[in-house]
Amino acid sequence: MDVALFIPCYVDQLAPSVGIATVEVLERVGCRVRYDPGQTCCGQPFVTAGEWSQARRLARRYLDRFAGADAVVCPSASCVATVRRRYAELSLGDTRVVKEVGARTYELSEFLVRVLNRPDVGARFPYRVALLQSCHGLRELHLGHPSEAVEIEDSAPGPTEAVLRAVRDLELVLPDPPDECCGFGGLFSVQFPEISTRIGRSRLVALAATGASHVTSTDASCLFHLEGLGRRAAFGPRPIHLAEILAWSEER
């Protein structure tokens, strides 16, 4: 399958290894990966900042770049949620294109499970790993069941959990509470640094209490926040992006 890669600006600049791992995983499951260097940002920071005219410029750019792709895969749930859920609110004109591109833009684990039906990518990672659910992944992309959604009786794990459970020798654990926000929130983390770090520290304590050596997430941004807190406090499990775990295999 031909896959267009969307490596969001912050991953490109700050977590390039996550992008490389994504390529490795996709190639391993037989995808032909195409990367268009004309891409930059989906516009999420401008959506959350309320600067919607700027967000529209970047959203149109994204739509132009990816309009022809069968599948766009991105290792960041919040960016995918922006494309799929928020673009519709920006009044971008051609609603058909917005809808189509949104429906064909996938978060990595979502793509592996829901499109390829390949939760097992042949990875091995012999560690206890705590999962930090991305809020946007959980509630906007339905990559798992949020704990407050008590009406959902479906007990099958969502795609993020499914790909992790398929990794050999990986022991998956969830913090308590299982899916509270890490306190990052993009712009929020610098507009409300005290609150952001209060939330993050409490998550870090909950994650450490699981005894995990690593913490993983679909979103590198949440991990930056926890990593930054953990480094300052010399405390907590080591952050590793989901794609990096999936790229880890026996022969490496």
Partner 1 sequence: MSLPLDRAARVALPTTESVQHHETAVADLRRRRDDALARVPDLQALREHAAAIKGHTLGDLGTYLERFEEQARAAGAVVHWADDAPAHNRIVHDLLAERGVHRVAKSKSMLTEECGLNPYLEARGIEVVDTDLGERIVQLEGEAPSHIVIPAIHRRRQEIGALFHRTVGSPEGEHDPVVLTEIARQDLRRRFLSAEAGITGVNFAIAETGSLVVCTNEGNADLGMHLPSIHIACMGIEKLLPRLEDLPAFLRLLARSATGQAITAYTTVVTGPRPGGELHIVLVDNGRSRLLADPEQRGALACIRCGACLNTCPVYRRTGGHAYNQTVPGPIGAVLAPAFRSDREASTLPFASTLCGSCSAVCPVGIDLHGQLLAWRARAPFGGGRIRWVARLGAEVLARPRLYRLVGGLARLAWPLLSRRWPGNPANAWLEGRELPPHPGASFRSRFRLWSQGSRSREGSRSRGGSGE
41 binds partner 1 (CB under 8 A): yes
Minimum Å gap between C-beta 18 and partner 1 is 7
- Supply 16's token pair: 């390039």
Minimum Å gap between C-beta 17 and partner 1 is 4
**Contacts to partner 1 from residues 126-155, by CB under 8 A:** 127, 135-136, 139-140, 146-151
Of 96, 70, 71, 98, whose CA–CA distance to 83 is shortest? 98
224 binds partner 1 (CB under 8 A): yes
Can you tell me which of 4, 26, 47, 207 binds partner 1, judged by CB under 8 A?
47
200 binds partner 1 (CB under 8 A): yes
Stretch touching partner 1 by CB under 8 A, among 5-13, 98-106, 114-122, 156-164: 5-13
Stretch touching partner 1 by CB under 8 A, among 100-108, 114-122, 156-164, 183-191: 183-191
Instruction: Classify residue 174 by its DSSP letter.
Output: -
Instruction: Classify residue 168 by its DSSP letter.
Output: B
Secondary structure E strands in 64-188: 72-74, 105-107, 128-131, 171-173
Minimum Å gap between C-beta 227 and partner 1 is 6
Q: Are 105 and 83 in contact (CB under 8 A)?
A: yes
C-alpha of 144 from chain center:
12
- Supply 89's token pair: 């609110």
